[in-house]
Amino acid sequence: MPGVDGFMYPNEIELQWSVLIVLYPFLTGLVAGAFILASLERVFQVEAVKPTYRLALLTALSFLLVAPLPLQLHLGHPERSYEMYLTPHRTSAMAMFGFVYLWYLMAVLVLEIWLDYRRQIVLLSQSSTGWKRAIYSVMTLGSTNISERALAIDEKAGWLITVIGIPSAFLLHGYVGFIFGSIKANPWWSTPLMPVVFIFSAMVSGIALVMLLYMLITWARRQVIDMKCVDTVARYLFYIFVIDFSLEMLDLIHRIYEADESFRSLDFMVHSKLYLSHIVVQIALGTIAPIALLGLTQVAKLSDIARKRIYAAAGCLTLMGIFAMRWNVVIGGQLFSKSFLGYTTYKMGLVAREGLLMAILLTILPFAILWVLVKVLPPWPEASSGSIPDAEPAR
């Protein structure tokens, strides 16, 4: 049979989880990572990253809005999906996703953004006209109280929400890792390290994305990039990346040492079908290269322009590497036979409900949403907003 090497059970030949299921953990990872970067400023008082705070929140929101779409497209009956809210199935992790998602969206992100922007929303509702005024007025919920005390209360509430938000962000993405890690029939997935690795890789990708977006948007607005901010973000990216890499290596060493009955089969897969995406793209280009680049900026004294370029390169490589990691987990886990005697091939459709074009569309969509959000809620300091009317953010 074409695409099949060795022996596959009939139900293993075709992959059930497509590129969209690769995209889903990638997108939620970006959400969790961006949020954790924002909380650095809020809870851990890292003042230097402040310029990215609001941008990170808006990025998290726009990606979170898109995150469930790949799942909806994957479902045979998407119109029934809301039923998991009506009759919650408490013993199924997948069925509980709806609640984790809703909690994170409504109780954490929207709330935190609203509190943080409230002053500006109130001001905008008074200064703007027409339909814009109507939108902002609805967003004020009819309260124009921006007295100092009211804002102080907002500040406290926002802090509290961030504190709740950090474990929630961990929950959101740890949950995605949990879904894979708890599938005990699949040795490529089944490891309790999975949620932890997912969380750290999520932080890595989210931070890299916000760093890139910040540099890109600032450049597009013809403003000066705050190097202290980018340096700090890059430093955190470096630290967390090192932790993430160690965890992944720990997992790898554990597998090699344990060498259970699945090992030879998986080892062969990594050296054949997954060689390019796993060894080359994920580990060499997507992990070791950016860590080395970021490490270089930590030890060597480089000019601003050199650092900027290195950060941009490292950020892009990181995103590619984390995407490859999701790919290798999701697709790699379905390429080998449970008999450990054969391998199949993933055939991705082009124009299909779960095909490549759809995946590209879903990757671009969050940037479009972010573009709208940035228009409605400008993330830069209030003084400069409005002065550059047609800033061209993200793509």
Partner 1 sequence: MNVFKDAGHLFRLAAVFVAGLLIFLVIRGFLVPKSFGQLGHYRANAVAEIAARPIKFAGHESCEGCHADVLDKKKNGKHAGVNCEACHGPQAQHADDPTAVKPDKLDTAVLCARCHEANAAKPRNFPQVDTAEHSRGLPCDTCHHPHSPVIVAGGAK
Minimum distance of partner 1 from residue 144's CB (angstroms): 9
Asked if 141 touches partner 1 (CB under 8 A), the answer is yes
Enter the tokens of residue 348.
Answer: 């991705």
* Contact partners, residue 124, CB within 8 Å, separation at least 6: 132, 136
45, 143, 303, 387: which one contacts partner 1 (CB under 8 A)? 143
Q: Which residues 365-394 are close enough to bind partner 1 by CB under 8 A? A: none
| 80 part of the interface to partner 1, by CB under 8 A | no
Nearest alpha carbon to residue 335 among 276, 266, 282, 271: 266
**Of residues 3, 9, 127, 167, which one binds partner 1 by CB under 8 A?**
9
Binding test (CB under 8 A) with partner 1, winner from 71, 84, 96, 111:
111
Q: Which is nearer to partner 1, 96 or 312 (CB)?
A: 96
Tokens of 233: 């973000």
Minimum distance of partner 1 from residue 121's CB (angstroms):
10
- Verify binding: residue 99, partner 1, rule CB under 8 A: no
- The stretch near partner 1 (CB under 8 A) out of 2-10, 17-25, 73-81, 366-374 is 2-10
> Contact with partner 1 (CB under 8 A): which of 87, 129, 303, 387?
87
Q: If binding means CB under 8 A, how many residues of this protein chain bind partner 1?
A: 21
Residue 309: phi and psi, rounded to 5, are -65, -40
* Residues with Cβ within 8 Å of residue 266, at least 6 apart in sequence: 187, 188, 255, 336
Q: Would you mind telling me the total number of residues written for the chain in this entry?
A: 395
Q: How far is the CB of 259 from partner 1 (least distance, A)?
A: 27
The widest CA-to-CA distance across the chain, in whole angstroms, is: 72
Element housing 294 (H / E): helix 289-299
93 binds partner 1 (CB under 8 A): no
Nearest to 162 by CA among 45, 286, 262: 45
> What are the phi and psi torsion angles at 6 (to 5°)?
70, -150
Q: Which of residues 150-179 bind partner 1 (CB under 8 A)?
A: 150, 153, 157
Q: Applying CB under 8 A, does 106 fall inside the site for partner 1? A: yes
Q: Does the footprint of partner 1 cover residue 145 (CB under 8 A)? A: yes
Residues in a beta bridge with 5: 343
C-alpha distance from residue 387 to each of 221, 379, 382 (Å): 10, 13, 10
Residue with token string 């059930």: 16
CB of 186 to partner 1, least distance (A): 19
The reply on whether position 118 binds partner 1 by CB under 8 A is yes
Q: Which residues bind to partner 1, rule: CB under 8 A?
A: 7, 9-10, 85-87, 89, 106, 111, 114, 118, 140-143, 145, 147, 149-150, 153, 157
